[in-house]
Amino acid sequence: MTDLNERVVMKESIRSFAQNLGVDDTGFAAVISYNSPRSEKIEDIFPGARSMVIMAMREMSHCESPNPQIAMSGRIDIMEFGRHCTFSLARYVETKCGGRAMGIPMSYPMEMNPSKNTGVVADISLRHAAVAAGLGAFGRHNLVIHPKLGSQIVFCGIITDLELEPDPACAANPCINCNICVKNCPAGALDEEGRTDVFKCMKKSQPYGLAKSIGFWKEFVTKTPDEQGKMFFTKDYWQMYQAQFIGFQYFCFKCFTVCPVGKRKISDTAGS
């Protein structure tokens, strides 16, 4: 399809389908303007892909809870919702718009290969895709801030071979440089501007992840059978066990929740 009018009609039907799924905002990017230097090239993932449709969803208050189970349970809910939106939109594009579509992983799977130092680089970076789709800009915390929804948002989306008009870039960076995110990061992972110290962040935000597992098993093999039995009855082992079946279990959401931009007050929505 090349006619501009038809492309605009199709784009708006895709936007309206996405919005009706219940997401908070939807943006369109041309694949050529997506630029994530460390991630795979889109043509190696989906030859012929031309556009990206990215959806933003605001997280509810669960992630502000000091109770890590409540915070993470809400995250699991929004990931499931995001996966539902991803698949539904891909299906809509393939069954109603005559295009091909592939969903972007919201978090995992991603390549896990220590010799390539992967495990923290997604095949497709949703933050770079969201910026290309005009949904926001990188803030001081290296997350993408949406001008109205703020920082407390997660992204999901699809790539497609349909040619869809891209949305304009976000007019101004919504970050007000207040440094609240930097001061509140319990790991000091944001001290250097433009870079998250991934390992500092992971130690605090995923204390029962891969590093804990490696440390546990390295220690385990040095112990007697009696000591090994005791190691299975520790908080560390039980938390690790749970984190493994959840996938990634986050214990820190600070940079995500303290940012004042777009922060919703209960009074904004009360009664509506």
- Whichever of 89 and 143 has its CB closer to ligand B12, that residue is 143
Residues 51-110 that bind ligand B12 (CB under 6 A): 105-107
Kindly give the residue spans of alpha helices, DSSP state H, lying in 97-187: 126-132, 180-184
Residue 195 binds to ligand B12 (criterion: CB under 6 A): yes
Burial class (CB in 10 A: 0-12, 13-18, 19+), 161: middle
Q: Which is nearer to ligand B12, 125 or 160 (CB)?
A: 125
Which of 97-119 are b and which e, b meaning 16 or more Cβ less than 10 Å from the residue's Cβ? bebebbbbebbeeeeeeeeeeee
Interface region with ligand B12, contact rule CB under 6 A, candidates 23-31, 210-218, 223-231, 249-257: 249-257
Quick check: 160 and 149 in contact, CB under 8 A? no
CB 160, CB 99: distance < 8 Å: yes
Binding test (CB under 6 A) with ligand B12, winner from 26, 51, 160, 196: 196
Query: Does residue 208 touch ligand B12 according to CB under 6 A?
Result: no
User: What would the x/- binding string for ligand B12 be over residues 148 to 177, using CB under 6 A?
Assistant: ---x-xxx----------------------
Contact partner at residue 149 from ligand SF4, ligand B12, none, CB < 5 to 8 Å by partner kind: none
Q: Which does 178 bind (CB under 5 to 8 A by kind): ligand SF4, ligand B12, none?
A: ligand SF4
Give 55-110 as a DSSP string: EEEE--GGGG-S-HHHHHHHHHHHHHHHHHHHHHHHHHHHHHSS--EEEPPSS---
Distance of CA 104 to the CA centre of its chain: 10
Structure tokens at 232: 């299975």
Question: Minimum Å distance from CB 107 to ligand SF4?
Answer: 13
**DSSP alpha helix (H) spans, 164-224:** 180-184, 198-205, 210-220
125 lies in the site for ligand B12, by CB under 6 A: yes
**What is the closest distance, in whole angstroms, from the C-beta atom of residue 29 to ligand B12 in the complex?**
14
Is there binding between residue 45 and ligand B12 (CB under 6 A)?
Answer: no
Closest to 159 measured CA to CA, from 52, 14, 17:
52
Q: Is 36 near ligand B12 (CB under 6 A)?
A: yes
Question: Under 8 Å CB-to-CB from 239, ≥6 apart: which residues?
Answer: 207, 208
Residue number with CB closer to ligand SF4 (71 or 181)? 181
Q: Please, what is the minimum distance in Å from the beta carbon of residue 200 to ligand B12?
A: 9
231 contributes a contact to ligand B12 by CB under 6 A: no
Shortest CB 61 distance to ligand SF4, Å:
17
Amino acid code (one letter) for 136 = G
Contacting positions for ligand B12 (CB under 6 A): 36-39, 105-107, 120-122, 124-127, 138, 141-144, 151, 153-155, 194-196, 198, 201-202, 205, 250, 252-253, 255-256
